[in-house]
Amino acid sequence: MKPRIIPGKELNGFIKGLMERAELYAPKERDTSPFPANPASDENPPALDAAEHSAGTPPVNGNREVSQFFRDTTEFRHITDPAQVNLDHLNTKLPLKELFLPRREVMFTFDTDTPERVEPVEAVAAERIVLGARPCDAAALEMFDRVFLDEATPDPYYRARREKTTIIGLACNEPGPACFCTAVGGSPHGSAALDLLLVDSGDRYLARPMTAKGEALVAHLPEATAPDIEKAAGLEQEARAAMKFTSDTAALQEKLKAGFDHKAWDEIALPCVNCGVCTYVCPTCHCFDVTDEESHGRGARIRTWDSCQFSLFTRHASGHNPRPTGRDRLRNRMMHKFRYFPAVHGTVLCVGCGRCIVECPSGIDLRETLTTLQEELE
């Protein structure tokens, strides 16, 4: 497939073309104005649609200086005007996963008085285009595919959304201080799970199609020249070189097998408060809970995000909890990402986006944790 060029830095025409084809989702500033001067409006009804219900933030968390790298107010949202698209960001506050695994999914509704009245919710999804996915966020979808598109038990809701979505990536030329995709098998110009990758090359975008769906979006554009492709390769090398952290994840997987009860976990877990931040901002964490909600005779079985850091996560009906302490739960998260998932699927469950590092209220750095484990475990 031939790489193309979007001349100039003006993407408006391109974006308009995308909007004519399908629903467009892209990083967008938060809608509501800052607290408290916030006039009452109907713009934000309490809708439960997942994509419309995600969140952005003003830069007020503990990591003041870092927030410049993470444009806190952006999130993937439905675009109704090309001017809403904001590609001037590194990573959105919340990852792309919400568009595929919403925080709340109704699977069926029921009538509590007449149990036979169960109405399944059909898995239907609109044709969508995502613009501006970072290669790390997109790579996480390949990991989701292994779980939710498993041949024996594919998830119909996930599959419908995945099949109906065309993903246009945006390569990273300037990784942030928490980025480490190269240490976990990714690349700042990586193409995993993408249909098309855009590379900002100064005065133009290089558009590199990976699939027929991606190619169809750029077929009308001029072909890229050899210098265009060379320049992009140089940008990728520079971006890769900017990320210094490395970790031998294969060796770590072996060490973790023997290191379940190592005392290193105590020290690693001390600052952890077992909130769900790292799991909810993680593009690869995908654990969910299933509960029933009912009111006035009508009920719904819903699937919501869950977090292995919560004490409820593995608590049995008997009250017994195989992971009773915070240390056990933090260890489980690391084990899932760097031991169990690789053992089953052949790849670590981490794409190195760095959100957990930036957002951790205790300032825990996953890279530091990996280094400690490499050093202390045998």
Partner 1 sequence: MPRPTAVEQQLRARARELLEKREVAGVLGFRAGTLPGTCVPFLATEPGDADRLVLNRDCAANLAAWLPRLRHRGRIAVVARGPDSRSIVNLVKENQVERDRLHIIGVADPDDTQPVRNPVVFDEFLGERAPDSPPDDYADIREFEALPPAERWQALLDELSRCIRCYACRQVCPNCYCPTCFVDASRPAWVGRTPDPSDNVLFHMVRAIHMAGRCVECGACAKACPIGIPLMIINRKVSLIVRDRFGSVPGTDPDAPLPLTAFDSEDREEFIR
With CB under 8 A as the contact rule, the residue among 55, 83, 219, 241 that binds partner 1 is 55
Half-sphere exposure (CA, 13 Å, Cβ side) for 116? 0
Q: In what order do the strands lie in the sheet with 118-120?
A: 118-120, 104-111, 298-305, 288-295
75 strand-pairing partners: 28
CB-wise, 104 or 345, nearer to partner 1? 104
CB-wise, 199 or 278, nearer to partner 1? 278
Number of neighbouring beta carbons within 10 Å of residue 319: 6
Separation CA 348–CA 358 (nearest Å): 20
Is 78 buried (19+), middle (13-18) or exposed (0-12) by CB count in 10 A? middle
With CB under 8 A as the contact rule, the residue among 2, 7, 8, 44 that binds partner 1 is 44
265 to 294, contacts with partner 1 by CB under 8 A? 270-271, 273-277, 279-281, 289, 291, 293
314 token code pair: 């593995």
Q: Does 301 bind partner 1 (CB under 8 A)?
A: no
Task: Write the CB contacts of 236 (distance below 8 Å, at least 6 apart in sequence).
Answer: 171, 187, 188, 189, 199
62 to 121, contacts with partner 1 by CB under 8 A? 62-66, 72, 93-94, 103-104
263 dihedral zone (left: phi>0; alpha: psi -120 to 50; beta): alpha
List strand residue ranges (DSSP E) for the chain, in order: 4-7, 23-29, 74-78, 104-111, 118-120, 128-133, 165-170, 196-200, 204-209, 288-295, 298-305
Q: Does 246 bind partner 1 (CB under 8 A)?
A: no
CB-wise, 201 or 307, nearer to partner 1? 307
82 strand-pairing partners: none
CB-wise, 82 or 102, nearer to partner 1? 102
Q: Does 53 bind partner 1 (CB under 8 A)?
A: yes
Q: What would the x/- binding string for partner 1 be over residues 168 to 187, using CB under 8 A?
A: ---------xx---------
Separation CA 313–CA 305 (nearest Å): 11
Q: Does 314 bind partner 1 (CB under 8 A)?
A: no
Task: Write the CB contacts of 77 (distance below 8 Å, at least 6 apart in sequence).
Answer: 25, 26, 27, 28, 51, 52, 54, 84
Q: What would the x/- binding string for partner 1 be over residues 132 to 161, using CB under 8 A?
A: ------------------------------
Task: Pick the stretch among 32-40, 77-85, 152-160, 190-198 that binds partner 1 (CB under 8 A).
Answer: 32-40
CB-wise, 48 or 83, nearer to partner 1? 48
320 to 339, contacts with partner 1 by CB under 8 A? 326
Q: Using CB under 8 A, list all residues that contact partner 1.
A: 32, 35-36, 38-41, 44, 46, 48, 53, 55-66, 72, 93-94, 103-104, 177-178, 270-271, 273-277, 279-281, 289, 291, 293, 302, 304-305, 307, 310-312, 326, 357-359, 361-365, 367-368
